[in-house]
Amino acid sequence: MDTTSETDRDLVLRTDGLTKRYGDRTAVDRVSMGVRRGEVYGFLGHNGAGKTTTLRMVLGLVRPTAGRATVLGRPAGRPEVTARVGALVEGPGFYPYLSGRDNLRTLARYRHLPRREVERVLDLVDLTGRGGDAYRGYSLGMKQRLGVAAALLGDPELVILDEPTNGLDPAGMADMRDLVVSLARDGRTVVLSSHLLAEVQQICDRVGIIDHGRLLREARVADLRGGVTVRVRATPPDAALAVASRMAGPDAVRPLPDGALGVDLPASAAPDLTRALVAAGADVHEVAPSERSLEEVFFEMTTESPTTKEHVS
C-alpha cells in the first residue's frame, strides 16, 4: 500500500535531518526542508550560514554526515537524477581560451545533446551575440549568465541557482528575474540562493531561512512578512510607546531601526491611534500603514556574529 501523502508526492526536493560536519565544525545541522513542484524557492542565509554546503549535498557533490536528501523521488546524486537537474553553484567554471559557445558545446557533447540546445540556452540568457567570444574576455556578469545557460542545458526539471545575479548590472538583474519567473511558469522548479532579498521577495513563492547551519523557518513569503501594520513616529517616544502599547498590547509594539514604532494594528485603526496620541500630548510626525519587507524579517530572525564566520558556507 502506498502511504506517501499527496504533499510528499508534490515535493521535488526533500531533506530529512541533513547534517554535515567537518571535524568539530558543523556546517549544516539537521536541516529538513521541502521544495514543491513548480515553485520558486528562496534559500536565504548570511555568508557561512550553510546554504552552499546544503545545496552541494542536494546535488550529490558532498556526502552528508547524517540525514538524507531526496531529489525527484530518488536519492541525491544518482545518475538518473543528475540528468534531470541543472545547477549553478559557487560560480561557473569554464575553459578560458574557448568561446562561450564552444564551452557549452563541450558540455552538450558530453551529455549527448544536440547543438541546437546550445543556441537555445544562449538565447535564453541573452548571450547569442557574444557566444563566439573567448570566455576569458567575458565580464563577471557575462560569465554568470553563461553559467546559468550551462545549468539550463537539457531542459532540466529542477534548476538550482546559487547567487545567479552576481556581477549583473540592474538591467541584467531584471532579465535574470524574468528568466527565473518564466522557468517556473513553464513548469520547472527553481531553488534560488541569493543575498538580494528585494529580488527574492518579488519572485519567490516560499523561502527557507538558514542560520548557523540550522533551518530557522520555512514559509510562504507573504506569511513571513505578515499583514499590514501601522508605523508610528511621535515625540516624546515614551508617550508614543505607552499609547501604542495600551491600544495594541505591549507584545504588539516593536521599535524600528529608524526610531519609529511598528504597531500590530490594522490600517483602519490609524485614525483612532492618531487621536489617542494627540490626547496624550504627543507630537505626531507620522502614522501610516506599513508592510514589513522580507529583508526586515530576515534580519530580525538572524544575527551576524563572530561564530557565524566559523561555519563553512
Residues 6+ positions from 22 with CB-CB distance below 8 Å: 312
Percent of the chain exceeding pLDDT 70 equals: 93
Among 57, 144, 140, 41, which residue's Cα sits nearest to residue 92?
144
Q: What does the pLDDT average to over 193-207?
A: 87
Position 17 confidence tier, pLDDT thresholds 50, 70, 90: very high
CA 80 to chain centre: 26
Instruction: Kindly report the three-state secondary structure assignment for every residue of 90-107.
Output: CCCCCCCCCEHHHHHHHH
Q: What does the pLDDT average to over 15-36?
A: 95
Q: DSSP per residue over 200-245, as a string?
A: HHHH-SEEEEEETTEEEEEEEHHHHH-S-EEEEEEESHHHHHHHHH
Q: Residues 89-121: pLDDT tens digits? A: 877 789 999 999 999 999 999 999 999 999 999
Position 303 confidence tier, pLDDT thresholds 50, 70, 90: low
Percent of the chain exceeding pLDDT 90 equals: 61
Q: Mark 250-261 as b/e (b = at least 16 C-beta within 10 Å).
A: eeebeeeeeebb
Q: Residues 204-243: pLDDT tens digits? A: 999 999 999 999 999 998 888 776 788 999 999 999 999 9
pLDDT of res. 25: 94
Cis peptide before 236 (omega within 30 of 0): yes
- Mean pLDDT taken over the chain: 88
294 within 8 A of 224, measured Cβ to Cβ: yes
Global pTM? 0.78
Q: Is 242 exposed, middle or buried (0-12, 13-18, 19+ CB in 10 A)?
A: middle
State how far the Cα of 176 lies from the Cα of 125, in Å rounded to an integer.
8
Q: What does the pLDDT average to over 31-52?
A: 93
DSSP letter assigned to residue 14: E
Q: List where CATH 3.40.50.300 sits in the chain.
A: 6-84+156-224
Q: What does the pLDDT average to over 19-47?
A: 94
* Cell 492618531 sits on residue: 274
User: What number does CATH give the domain 227-291?
Assistant: 3.30.70
Q: What does the pLDDT average to over 45-70?
A: 93
Residue 170 has pLDDT above 80, yes or no: yes
pLDDT of res. 10: 83
Pairwise pLDDT comparison (279 vs 226), residue with the higher score:
279
State how far the Cα of 160 lies from the Cα of 60, in Å rounded to an integer.
13
- Domain 6-84+156-224, CATH class in plain words: alpha beta
pLDDT of res. 312: 40
pLDDT of res. 96: 95
Q: List where CATH 3.30.70 sits in the chain.
A: 227-291
pLDDT of res. 227: 65
83 within 8 A of 92, measured Cβ to Cβ: no
